Structure 1
Amino acid sequence: MQSRDQDRTAEDEYQPIARRIGRLSLHLSPVPRPLSCADDQLQILKCARGAPKLNVDVAPLSEYMRGKHREIQERVFEYFNTRPELQTPIEISKDDHRELCMRQLRGLVQEAGIRPFRALFEDPAQYFAILEAVGSIDMSLGIKIGVQYSLWGGSVINLGTKKHRDKYFDGIDNLEYPGCFAMTELHHGSNVQGLQTTATFDPITDEFIINTPNDGAIKWWIGNAAVHGKFASVFAKLILPTHDSKGVSDMGVHAFIVPIRDLKTHQTLPGIEIHDCGHKVGLNGVDNGALRFCSVRIPRENLLNRFGDVSWDGKYTSSLPTINKRFAATLGELVGGRVGLAYSSVSVLKLAATIAIRYSLLRQQFGPPKQPEVSILDYQSQQHKLMPMLASTYAFHFATVHLVEKYTEMKKSHDEQLVADVHALSAGLKAYVTSYTAKSLSICREACGGHGYAAVNRFGILRNDHDIFQTFEGDNTVLLQQVAGDLLKQYKEKFQGGTFMVTWNYLKESMNTYLSQPNPVTARWDSADHLQDPKFQLDAFRYRTSRLLQSVAVRLRKHSKTLGSFCAWNRCLNHLLTLAESHIESVILAKFIEAVESCPDASSRAALKLACDLYALDRIWKDIGTYRNVDYVAPNKAKAIHKLTEYLSFQVRNIATELVDAFDLPDQVTRAPIALKSDAYAQYTQYVGF
């Protein structure tokens, strides 16, 4: 009797659980349908069907996307897959996360034998591939690597000379010398020339004295400073005690190697005050700290003296004649950080798009009366959110791959024109891509409804960790102004008989054409063949940029007469930001078109062409008012662009699975249960305890 009662009790307890699992399975999994579906994906809703689905072979498309450094990325993925104790849990304290992040870095370098620092100088493309892979594991680890190797290590090697390389390279490489990049101050970030920290030369002792003159000059948000760093490359104004022939003692901002902790005891060194910046919105695996210097003495040889040096008797020498030129050269050597952020931001967008799109293919909701529920990606509203984003992800991929290639070429050649080119291109792409990704992460979360709010599905973590990408290594608004300023400089030189730089040469070749009166005939062409012609798309992008450039130049000239140059710039600031974004979009589209045309596999090329057309026409439609205002696009053509953009979203939806799979992100990398290729909801329910 007691046994029967126990069985009945167990059965009563089991029934609610069984009902919940049954309901969840019915709600989230496809119910049997008479239609067959060979790839186990949901059939597209009949009312949403467009052209026949493209047959896309994922393997060659993935091979085209992955590049030659996929092997080292797979080594990163495999290492962390075999070391579960190094995988970052969903819930972890700040202090534990910092220690885990350091163990991850040491394991990667000392156990897995992956050496990012050597790659940075021998093959930069491989370095950025490593950065992308580790960022997919934990974005804090990606930033920690960037701080150690690109910022601290990069400043020593790029701004120093042979003596610095010989002394520090191996220690930085093997993590014996963990370090910081101490540029930003409490009162100065983007305005690096306004830094207040001083390095005064003492010829009696042959030393520099590093000082923080006021609280506003405290070095702030310094990665690796709070816990792990033992050195810092400190950016400070170089002050000479005797005036030169021009009566100047401030030689401008230079970088200095400053030990901050004892190598053996890890104790803070005399004269150095270190504080913890505390818990952040994201990236809590990175130990950001604040540094104050009180008469800290370092030997003269600790000046990173590639662009300026001081002799034992206090004489300053440089191959560059002015403070501004030395400053520009210094920042030019540090551009790799922006390249890395742009490239890594695309990898975050790939992750988010993969999770959101796989979920949208799997999740069913509503449908025609008395018929099975349909995939939410069959809804036009969901396609409108996600398909242009997927197309943009591909566009940004090819644009940032191009940026890495240009950066690699620059590091080999040291060509001044190429340095300037990469500086402007990296500023624009970093600003544009990181801003787009930040917005897209929120859209992806929303597109996944309540499940997107679960931390295990990663949107919140990705969004918080990525958010700072918009403001470090240069605030995005400031970087876009740099792009606009460079365009205006080139515009001025063109009309004075000068030449445009490499990236901007389309303006040199076609400025007059783009600024001429729009052709009333072509303004009305609205066939699909015409709208999907790369020449039309690129011409439209460049026409908009050219008009914005000309009009803002006129406005600046007008306002400068009455307001002065600074106030005139501020009066036109929104116009300038729009110009910079328009130009970067033109560069992105040009690189996407080139990638489509260069793709050797026919099915991959067709898939990329669809995505490229959607990227181009979606951007044109979003700014259709600009084109209508100048009669570049007639009403019938505007309507056709809108209609075709929606139609292309349907077509891209048809191959969304293949486009996402071509990113080649293993399940152990995406990790979100709703994005797994199989048994997604079984693992999701298991995670919460069923």
Structure 2
Amino acid sequence: MQGQDSNPTAGDDHRLAVRRIQRLSLHLTPIPRSLCDSDELQMLRCSRGTPKLVVETSNLSDYMRGKNREIQERIYEYFNSKPELQTPLEISKDDHRELCMRQLVGLVREAGIRPFRYVVDEPAKYFAVLEAVGSVDMSLGIKTGVQYSLWGGSVVNLGTKKHRDKYYDGIDSLEYPGCFAMTELHHGSNVQGLQTTATFDPLANEFIINTPNDGAIKWWIGNAAVHGKFATVFAKLLLPTHDIKGVSDMGVHAFIVPIRDLKTHQTLPGVEIHDCGQKVGLNGVDNGALKFSSVRIPRDNLLNRFGDVSRDGKYTSSLPTKNKRFAAMLGELVGGRVGLAYSSVGVLKISTTIAIRYSLLRQQFGPPKQPEISILDYQSHQHKLMPMLASTYAFHFATVHLVDNYSEMKRSHDEELIADVHVLSAGLKAYVTSYTAKALSICREACGGHGYAAVNRFGILRNDHDIFQTFEGDNTVLLQQVAADLLKQYKEKFQGGRFTVTWNYLRESMNAYLSQPNPVTARWESEDHLRDPKFQLDAFRYRTSRLLQSVAVRLRKHSKTLGGFGAWNRCLNHLLTLAESHIESVILSKFIEAVEICPDENSRAALKLVCDLYALDRIWKDIGTYRNVDYVAPNKAKAIHKLTEYLSFQVRNIARELVDTFDLPDHVTKAPIAMKSEAYSHYTQYVGF
């Protein structure tokens, strides 16, 4: 409205406010930020009510939660009916560990939920189980994952029929609680650098497991300190030779090593176990350290899907090199990353639900002589929470896509899909868990002093979730894997190679994304244009393509003087930004697809609004990149900012329905300030009034 109504009279206030809303698509002027009198406040309330979408939470929830809703509700109902299995706020480490084991036993033996049966055949259902039990107690979610994803998954994915026949039933029933002993004191992310050894003794037909130095002690091993009876131990497979070296290193392999007696539970000879002690969070999981001194195991305890040793000590494998065997082994273990990404979204749903419900409830300040208004009516609060709510929805659809791809990969064993899932699981796990970790602190802050009360869960959720950024691959390392794959695909593009699934957009139109920005398009600022999925996706992909091309040039330049490793380190921050940009492009594309195929019209309209907020908020947060290359002109940047604020305002109007769609019962969210009704009454009763 430049040059028009620049000095409206007081009597024009109503007309001006109405015109601003009605003509938003033309000039994108935001709702006035300063509301000083009762008439203006009433206008805000009216304007907020007029465009509000009708959201049928049951329809939208059915669309989002899908066919695995029933098993999650069974889990919620079981634990709600068992007060003795609910984790109290104040509990010692040792008591928490025992409770966590009782929770898992109750889930499996009493509630009849058998997660191991879904690990291979129905992965989507398995990840739904993990999300649900993690909502009950995150320690329970991790302990479940250790037993079935890691220990059990290593047996069925890295072993052969003889291993499944021997161990499957015991793992399924919890008769064989086990560990996943990969990480060492000196080595975590660099798995190929592990130092534990497994030397074959052909005379005894056994492997000898040894910890050669303290740096090779297996560390942070879940289930080891108290409950585990077996461990899948990752070690260098050494075969005796007749040359001067004496042994041949065949690379890292996995071995089943008993660590405690099945009947007495006593630690077995040669195995030394110590408790890693109190942690920042997840103290229901008994992390321990394992050291092996000449522990002998039968040759059959080698998990031999990708490499085997015969009775006379000869090594055979269907894969020709150590690196290919290693890649195949790790490729079978990506389920842990898939589960963490999926579960992290579950944590984000809980935290946003608590923060938004409380922000709708809490009233503070307002115009003189008028009722106080909800703190979610403040633009600053909307700025904190509404893009976060949009991101929660975006991550939901992205991780559902990841789970679907993982399930198809397990069924088909398609090589292209295996490569795609490996990179996508690394990227989504890193991106989503980092975002959720930051979001938890923002949610705590958004709830003020009441967010600091342990009963309202933010501290517990934050501490328990924090390690998601580290295990199953440190996030910085995982993002480098994504960047390395992008560069590999970039190189193959110019050599006629094939692209993996998530690279289709670069295969199809990379040249267009790298061309000079259209000076006309750069100035388009209508609402229809900015809310067009093609503009949004093009902007995300343009940024990724620019980052990829520029980092490739930089790496070539620096490698001449610094070598490959030095050049990579010099460009590391650039590479991490590239990986995050690519993952954001995938997230947005999957959100757009989910909007388009949503069968219910009202739900589709709500999802479109949320998707637009996610896309434009991300573009605005990196607006400097787009401005630096003239992809977005100054007025268009301003229009993006204004529309982002207005979309946050519109999402606020349906925020209650959007969090209700997550369908989390009060006994799952638990926080008194997040109760659907009489929240303050629950809170005061908790402290004794």
1:562-590: CA deviation from partner (whole Å, max 9, x where unpaired): 10000000000000000000000000000
Query: Could you tell me whether the CA contact under 8 Å between 1:51 and 1:651 is conserved in 2?
Result: no
Output the CA distance in 2 between the equivalents of 1:456 and 1:400: 29
Given the alignment of the two structures, is residue 530 of structure 1 paired with residue 529 of structure 2, yes or no?
Answer: yes
**Aligned residue in 1 for 2:655:** 656
Query: Could you tell me whether the CA contact under 8 Å between 2:93 and 2:284 is conserved in 1?
Result: yes
Output the CA distance in 1 between the equivalents of 2:50 and 2:356: 20
Task: Give, in angstroms, the shift of residue 76 of structure 1.
Answer: 0.2
**Aligned residue in 2 for 1:590:** 589
Given the alignment of the two structures, is residue 138 of structure 1 paired with residue 137 of structure 2, yes or no?
Answer: yes
Output the CA distance in 2 between the equivalents of 1:338 and 1:498: 27
Task: Give, in angstroms, the shift of residue 121 of structure 1.
Answer: 1.4
Given the alignment of the two structures, is residue 604 of structure 1 paired with residue 619 of structure 2, yes or no?
Answer: no
1:480-521: CA deviation from partner (whole Å, max 9, x where unpaired): 000000000000000112121111111111110000000000
User: Counterpart of 1:678 in 2: which secondary structure?
Assistant: coil
Letter in 1 for 2:581: S
TM-score (norm 2): 0.93
Task: Give, in angstroms, the shift of residue 46 of structure 1.
Answer: 3.7
Aligned pairs for 1:140-179 (under 5 A) are 140-179=139-178
Given the alignment of the two structures, is residue 219 of structure 1 paired with residue 213 of structure 2, yes or no?
Answer: no
**Aligned residue in 2 for 1:547:** 546
Letter in 1 for 2:259: I
**Aligned residue in 2 for 1:666:** 665
Output the CA distance in 2 between the equivalents of 1:46 and 1:243: 86
- Which stretch shifts more, 633-642 or 234-243? 234-243
User: Counterpart of 1:660 in 2: which secondary structure?
Assistant: helix
Query: Could you tell me whether the CA contact under 8 Å between 1:45 and 1:378 is conserved in 2?
Result: no
Query: Could you tell me whether the CA contact under 8 Å between 2:123 and 2:403 is conserved in 1?
Result: yes
Aligned pairs for 1:112-261 (under 5 A) are 112-242=111-241, 249-261=248-260
1:302-333: CA deviation from partner (whole Å, max 9, x where unpaired): 00000000011110000000000000000000
User: Counterpart of 2:312 in 1: which secondary structure?
Assistant: coil
- Which stretch shifts more, 180-189 or 241-250? 241-250
Output the CA distance in 2 between the equivalents of 1:257 and 1:45: 66
**Aligned residue in 1 for 2:641:** 642
Distance change (3 Å), C-alpha of 1:248 and 1:486 = farther
Output the CA distance in 1 between the equivalents of 2:415 and 2:58: 40
**Aligned residue in 2 for 1:38:** none
**Aligned residue in 2 for 1:458:** 457
Task: Give, in angstroms, the shift of residue 219 of structure 1.
Answer: 0.1
Output the CA distance in 2 between the equivalents of 1:624 and 1:331: 38
**Aligned residue in 1 for 2:297:** 298
Task: Give, in angstroms, the shift of residue 645 of structure 1.
Answer: 0.1
**Aligned residue in 2 for 1:445:** 444
Distance change (3 Å), C-alpha of 1:44 and 1:683 = farther
Output the CA distance in 2 between the equivalents of 1:467 and 1:562: 39
Query: Could you tell me whether the CA contact under 8 Å between 2:240 and 2:246 is conserved in 1?
Result: no
User: Counterpart of 1:503 in 2: which secondary structure?
Assistant: helix
Aligned pairs for 1:16-415 (under 5 A) are 46=45, 49=48, 52-242=51-241, 249-415=248-414
Output the CA distance in 1 between the equivalents of 2:607 and 2:510: 29
**Aligned residue in 2 for 1:689:** 688
Letter in 1 for 2:189: S
Task: Give, in angstroms, the shift of residue 52 of structure 1.
Answer: 1.6
Query: Could you tell me whether the CA contact under 8 Å between 1:50 and 1:647 is conserved in 2?
Result: no
**Aligned residue in 2 for 1:4:** none
Output the CA distance in 2 between the equivalents of 1:545 and 1:595: 22
Output the CA distance in 2 between the equivalents of 1:661 and 1:348: 15
Letter in 2 for 1:82: S
Output the CA distance in 2 between the equivalents of 1:141 and 1:225: 15
1:260-302: CA deviation from partner (whole Å, max 9, x where unpaired): 0000000000000000000000000000000000000000000
Output the CA distance in 2 between the equivalents of 1:44 and 1:281: 48
**Aligned residue in 2 for 1:30:** none
5+ unaligned residues in a row in structure 2: which ranges? Answer: 1-37
5+ unaligned residues in a row in structure 1: which ranges? Answer: 1-33, 36-41
Output the CA distance in 1 between the equivalents of 2:456 and 2:542: 42
Query: Could you tell me whether the CA contact under 8 Å between 1:48 and 1:378 is conserved in 2?
Result: no
Query: Could you tell me whether the CA contact under 8 Å between 2:426 and 2:482 is conserved in 1?
Result: yes
TM-score (norm 1): 0.93
User: Counterpart of 2:427 in 1: which secondary structure?
Assistant: helix
Query: Could you tell me whether the CA contact under 8 Å between 1:207 and 1:300 is conserved in 2?
Result: yes
Aligned pairs for 1:396-545 (under 5 A) are 396-545=395-544
1:200-231: CA deviation from partner (whole Å, max 9, x where unpaired): 00001000000000000000000000000000
User: Counterpart of 1:504 in 2: which secondary structure?
Assistant: helix
User: Counterpart of 1:267 in 2: which secondary structure?
Assistant: coil
Letter in 1 for 2:665: P
Letter in 1 for 2:238: I
Letter in 2 for 1:442: S
Output the CA distance in 1 between the equivalents of 2:44 and 2:507: 48
Distance change (3 Å), C-alpha of 1:237 and 1:368 = same
Query: Could you tell me whether the CA contact under 8 Å between 1:101 and 1:141 is conserved in 2?
Result: yes
Letter in 2 for 1:335: V
Output the CA distance in 2 between the equivalents of 1:168 and 1:662: 40
Aligned pairs for 1:566-577 (under 5 A) are 566-577=565-576
Distance change (3 Å), C-alpha of 1:546 and 1:638 = same
Letter in 2 for 1:397: H
Output the CA distance in 1 between the equivalents of 2:538 and 2:419: 25
Query: Could you tell me whether the CA contact under 8 Å between 1:50 and 1:651 is conserved in 2?
Result: no
**Aligned residue in 2 for 1:5:** none
1:362-402: CA deviation from partner (whole Å, max 9, x where unpaired): 00000000001000000000000000000000000000000
Query: Could you tell me whether the CA contact under 8 Å between 1:44 and 1:378 is conserved in 2?
Result: no
Task: Give, in angstroms, the shift of residue 51 of structure 1.
Answer: 5.8
Task: Give, in angstroms, the shift of residue 49 of structure 1.
Answer: 3.7
User: Counterpart of 1:275 in 2: which secondary structure?
Assistant: strand
Output the CA distance in 2 between the equivalents of 1:100 and 1:664: 26
Distance change (3 Å), C-alpha of 1:244 and 1:494 = farther
Task: Give, in angstroms, the shift of residue 48 of structure 1.
Answer: 7.9
Letter in 2 for 1:207: E
Output the CA distance in 2 between the equivalents of 1:565 and 1:424: 21
1:428-448: CA deviation from partner (whole Å, max 9, x where unpaired): 000000000000000000000
Q: State the identity as a percent.
A: 87
Query: Could you tell me whether the CA contact under 8 Å between 1:239 and 1:249 is conserved in 2?
Result: yes
Distance change (3 Å), C-alpha of 1:44 and 1:314 = farther
Letter in 2 for 1:392: S
Letter in 2 for 1:484: A
Query: Could you tell me whether the CA contact under 8 Å between 2:223 and 2:287 is conserved in 1?
Result: yes
Output the CA distance in 2 between the equivalents of 1:257 and 1:561: 46
User: Counterpart of 2:502 in 1: which secondary structure?
Assistant: coil
Letter in 1 for 2:403: V
User: Counterpart of 1:134 in 2: which secondary structure?
Assistant: helix
User: Counterpart of 2:240 in 1: which secondary structure?
Assistant: coil
User: Counterpart of 2:300 in 1: which secondary structure?
Assistant: helix
Output the CA distance in 1 between the equivalents of 2:640 and 2:244: 65
Letter in 2 for 1:330: M
Task: Give, in angstroms, the shift of residue 249 of structure 1.
Answer: 0.2
Query: Could you tell me whether the CA contact under 8 Å between 2:238 and 2:247 is conserved in 1?
Result: no
Letter in 2 for 1:614: L
Output the CA distance in 1 between the equivalents of 2:71 and 2:552: 47
Output the CA distance in 2 between the equivalents of 1:315 and 1:302: 16
Query: Could you tell me whether the CA contact under 8 Å between 1:272 and 1:292 is conserved in 2?
Result: yes
